């Protein structure tokens, strides 16, 4: 039997801030939930993969070279590969990330990704 995933429950079960929890895979993409607060990552680029952020709870910004895009609960954004960006989280946010396997690393997650 195929199990369903409740994103809010999975995000609430994450063991602390900036910890990534894999909740599934889709072809060669990984789906991770995380919680973040008061964190601004360095600008970075994913050369080989688009990246999707889905805001489960809270709100945050994605900053680009030409401005900010604000995301609230229920919003998602797809960032095309090769686009310089950085997440800016002021309050507590819980989100889902979808990207190609191997895209996340310590360099583009502020050192928090350990898989």
Let me know if residue 80 belongs to a domain.
yes
Let me know if residue 115 belongs to a domain.
no
Let me know if residue 56 belongs to a domain.
yes
Let me know if residue 30 belongs to a domain.
yes
Q: What is the predicted pLDDT for the residue at 110?
A: 52
CATH number of the structural domain spanning residue 71: 2.60.120.10
Q: What is the predicted pLDDT for the residue at 19?
A: 86
Q: Low-confidence residues of the chain, pLDDT below 50? A: 113
Pairing verdict, β 76-79 and 93-100: unpaired
Range of the domain at 35: 7-108
Q: What is the predicted pLDDT for the residue at 101?
A: 78
Let me know if residue 98 belongs to a domain.
yes
Q: What's the pTM value of the predicted model, to 2 decimals?
A: 0.86
Let me know if residue 23 belongs to a domain.
yes
Let me know if residue 103 belongs to a domain.
yes
Domain count, the chain: 1
């Amino acid at each position: 039997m195929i199990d369903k995933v409740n994103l809010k429950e999975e995000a609430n079960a994450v063991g602390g801030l900036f910890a990534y929890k894999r909740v599934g895979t889709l072809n060669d993409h990984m789906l991770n939930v995380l919680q973040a607060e008061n964190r601004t990552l360095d600008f970075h680029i994913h050369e080989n993969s688009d990246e999707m952020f889905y805001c489960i709870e809270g709100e945050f910004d994605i900053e680009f070279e030409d401005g900010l895009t604000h995301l609230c609960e229920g919003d998602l954004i797809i960032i095309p590969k090769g686009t310089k960006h950085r997440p800016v989280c002021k309050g507590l946010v819980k989100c889902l990330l979808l990207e190609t396997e191997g895209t996340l690393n310590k360099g583009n997650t502020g050192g928090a990704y350990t898989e």
